[in-house]
Amino acid sequence: MAVYYPDEPRIVPDLLAVLDADDHKRNTWVVSFEGRGLDFILEVHVAGHRRKDTIRNTATYARLGIREYFIFDQPTGALWGHRLGPGASVYSAIVPSGFGLSSAVLSLDLAVVGSALKFYAGTAQLPGADQLIQRLESMVGSVIEERRAEALARAEEAKARTDAESRADAEAKARADAESRADAAAKALAAAESRAEAAAKARADAESRAEAEAKARAEEAKARAEEAKARADAESRVRSLEQRLAELEGRSIPKGE
């Protein structure tokens, strides 16, 4: 049940008691409406570490004037009790006396037996004590089962969240690896294309040089051929001239000389 004190955050104790209150069902306890606050709170710890909650609640509940505050840590079997003395604003620890811890509000003793919290009426004759004890123990049992279910749900949720994060990390890593491989492949392809372009350019340059050299050789051969032809033509003209000269010289010589 959620409890609302004026100008305070709501509190949701596992088990609470208000003395001399009308016994009708409520979904919330609004102190300003009911005209009174709580007399007794019991919190049950089933799983997790709630030391900070306990320290904070001890100060808060004492400030709110809640007469008794009990904490039962089910996994360890530890039981603590706190009580406000007359006019006090800070709790005093309830010292074990006889069998367990005594609650002045409930007029019952609380003790841990095995792993269960039990309520005892002691030697006092309390009207309806058996029914009250049975009801309290049933309520504590229900709280424990509820807390276990909540702890299991939190554990499953945490596991699901961890699994989801692991899958997300694995997927992110796979994507990163794929992108890395794609980048490497792209770089390799670019390098191969660059080498192919360089090889093609080298071949083109070689072919161009070969064509230039072939052209130069052809021009050189042509020049040599033209030079040889010119030389042959010149020699032919010289021989022709020499022959004519000889012929001319021969005709100018008188006969008998």
The Cα–Cα gap between 72 and 90 comes to 20
Beta bridge partners of 92: 83
CA separation for the pair 243, 85 (Å, rounded): 160
First to last CA, the chain: 167
* Structure tokens that stand for 242 in this block: 């020499």
For the entire predicted model, the pTM comes to 0.57
Alpha helices in the chain (DSSP H): 31-34, 51-63, 129-251
CB atoms within 10 A of CB 44: 21
* 39 DSSP 8-state letter: S
**Residue (of 145, 140, 116, 146) closest to 42 by Cα position:** 140
Q: What b-and-e string marks burial along 212-249, b requiring 16 or more CB atoms within 10 Å of the CB?
A: eeeeeeeeeeeeeeeeeeeeeeeeeeeeeeeeeeeeee
The rounded distance, in Å, linking the Cα atoms of 238 and 9 is: 134
Query: Hey, is 57 helix, strand or coil?
Result: helix
Half-sphere exposure of 179 (CA within 13 A, CB side): 6
Element (H, E) at 108: strand 108-113
Which residues contact residue 65 at a Cβ distance below 8 angstroms, ignoring those fewer than 6 apart?
37, 84
Distances (CA, A) of 25 to 44, 82, 106: 22, 28, 20
Closest CA to 73 of 55, 98, 48, 96: 48
- The token pair at 109 is 């003793």
Is residue 80 within 8 Å of residue 113, measured between CB atoms?
no
pLDDT per residue rounded down to tens, the chain (257 residues): 899 999 999 999 998 999 988 878 889 999 999 999 999 999 998 876 576 678 899 999 999 999 999 999 988 989 999 999 998 999 999 999 877 899 999 988 899 988 888 888 765 544 455 656 666 667 666 666 666 677 777 778 888 888 989 998 989 998 999 899 989 988 988 888 999 898 889 898 888 888 888 898 888 888 888 888 888 888 888 888 888 888 888 765 555 55
Residue at token pair 């609650």: 103
